[in-house]
């Protein structure tokens, strides 16, 4: 049984480059500020295709982001396609490598031997060992969570999340917490986050099911189907049980663990440490990367609405950029920077950046800083350019900003300095 939303088609279509989308409800106006390291700020220009009237555009921002001197310093290198980083209470840093290894960085040194007990993964295409997250009560229960692409007997693969006890540099008692009910080639999603009440959130991508056709065909895409895990965020108890207050609990034909849907391939997700807001970024196609504020039960529109175009041909995917019943992004990029990794900074090493959102870019090879005013994105600054494909962005326990570079395979950090 397929359950899809088919709200009224919007008439406007806006393809402005990199900006915030205002709406009457809780999104405000904003503008794109692209800033090279220690360079002057300048607002972006908007454009509309084919003589169409412009959609709702960004308003002016009162002043650009404040320039802060910083430098990128290598922490560890010689990694093989690292995907995520996390810290344990004792100070050890864990790094996942997509071929299936979990590595330990202790006292600034990458240990030679990977962690034992990691499950076998399907390390092909975009699959492999992906995210890692310690339980919020790790100091007491030693539980460590991993997401990865798992091989099925029929040759397919799904996103899987497991947990095990991490002791003596090994993982034991590994058990499945969640298995996605979706198959496909790539787009595994796989980010993990815990909220303040220890509920577990997981992203699952649309599995690279190509969108085709008009409204009826796009609305039948698996990312609009609540009976599958294509393009969703799920919410679980820490042991995999489904919370009774999930938005679709009790609805027939719907997967009860779904929290939000209509996503493409979300590879960055984080809770704002101070407000509790859940933020997510989505890797778009050729254009249309998004930052979204995630609300329970909401439809985020992929592939019915959006700002992306097909790879290569540049042909239109969507039937518009706005539609009743589908949430607009808080911010988007055209062309795509290939977003991956998201973090809200609350440290004291860069006090001018407190409260900012940081988003990594893979193909764009950049780190974007987005300024926030409540739930509104008000500006953008580019801090790192052309130093590699940024897969993950995290705040370390030392208050510095850590970057995981897929290529070159390394972990680096931003430190205060001359740049």
Tokens of 281: 């970024």
Label each residue of the chain as H, E or C: CCCCCCCCECCCCCCCCCECCCCCCCCCCCCCECCCCCCCCCECCCCCHHHCCCCCCCCCCCCCCCCCCEEEEEEECCCCCEEEEEECCCCCEEEEECCCEEEEEECCEECCCCCECCCCCCCCCCCCEEEEEECCCHHHHCEEEEEEEEECCCCCEEEEEEEEEEECCEEEEEEEEEECCCCCCCCCCCCEEECCCCCEEEEECCCCCCCCCCHHHHHCCHHHCCCCCCCEEEEECCCCCCCCCCCCCCCCCCCCCEEEECCCCEEEEEECCCCCCEEEEECCCECCEEEEECCCCCECCCCCCCCCECCCCCCECCCCCCECCCCCCCEEECCCCCEEEEEECCCCCCHHHCCCEEEEECCCCEEEEEEEECCEEEEEEEEEECCCEEEEEEECCCCCEEEEEEECCEEEEEEECCC
- d(Cα 300, Cα 93) in Å, to the nearest integer? 34
Give the pair of three-digit tokens for residue 286. 């050729």
Q: What are the distances in angstroms from CA 40 to CA 46, 151, 214, 371?
A: 19, 49, 43, 16
Task: Write out the two tokens for 60.
Answer: 């002016």
| Cα dihedral value 212, 214, 220, 225, nearest 10 | 90
Residue carrying the six token digits 């709200």: 7
263 is catalytic: no
CA distance 16 to 288: 10
Active-site residue, selected from the candidate residues 19, 70, 187, 229: 187
Known catalytic residues? Answer: 187
């Amino acid at each position: 049984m397929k359950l899809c939303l088919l709200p009224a088609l919007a008439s406007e279509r806006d393809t402005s480059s990199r900006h915030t989308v205002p709406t009457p409800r809780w999104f405000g106006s904003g503008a794109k500020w692209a800033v090279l390291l220690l360079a002057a700020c300048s607002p972006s220009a908007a454009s509309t295709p084919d003589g169409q009237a412009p959609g709702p555009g960004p308003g002016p921002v009162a002043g650009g982001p404040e320039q802060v001197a910083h430098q990128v310093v290598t922490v560890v290198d010689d990694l093989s396609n690292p995907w995520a980083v996390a810290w344990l209470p004792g100070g050890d840093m864990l790094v996942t490598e997509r071929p299936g290894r979990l590595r330990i960085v202790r006292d600034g040194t990458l240990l030679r031997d990977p962690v034992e007990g990691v499950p076998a993964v399907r390390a092909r295409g975009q699959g492999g060992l992906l995210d890692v997250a310690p339980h919020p009560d790790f100091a007491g229960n030693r539980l460590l969570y991993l997401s990865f692409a798992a091989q099925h007997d029929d040759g397919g693969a799904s996103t899987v999340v497991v947990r095990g006890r991490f002791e003596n540099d090994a993982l034991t008692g590994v058990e499945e917490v969640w298995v996605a009910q979706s198959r496909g080639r790539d787009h595994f999603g796989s980010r993990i986050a815990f909220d303040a009440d220890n509920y577990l959130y997981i992203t699952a991508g649309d599995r690279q099911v190509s969108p085709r056709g008009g409204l009826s065909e796009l609305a039948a895409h698996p990312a609009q189907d609540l009976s599958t895990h294509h393009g969703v965020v799920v919410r679980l108890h820490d042991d995999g049980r489904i919370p009774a207050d999930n938005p679709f609990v009790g609805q027939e034909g719907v997967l009860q663990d779904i929290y939000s849907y209509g996503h493409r391939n979300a590879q960055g997700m984080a809770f704002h440490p101070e407000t509790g807001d859940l933020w997510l970024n989505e890797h778009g196609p050729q254009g249309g990367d998004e930052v979204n504020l995630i609300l329970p039960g909401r439809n985020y529109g992929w592939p019915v609405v959006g700002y992306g175009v097909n790879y290569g041909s540049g042909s239109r995917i969507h039937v518009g950029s706005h539609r009743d019943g589908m949430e607009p992004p808080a911010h988007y990029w055209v062309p795509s920077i290939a977003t991956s990794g998201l973090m809200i900074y609350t440290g004291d090493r860069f006090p001018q950046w407190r409260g900012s959102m940081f988003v990594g870019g893979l193909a764009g090879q950049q780190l974007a800083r987005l300024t926030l005013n409540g739930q509104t994105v008000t500006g953008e600054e580019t801090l790192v350019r052309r130093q590699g494909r940024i897969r993950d962005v995290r705040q370390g326990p030392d208050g510095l900003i850590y970057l995981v570079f897929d290529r070159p395979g390394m972990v680096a950090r931003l430190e205060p300095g001359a740049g």
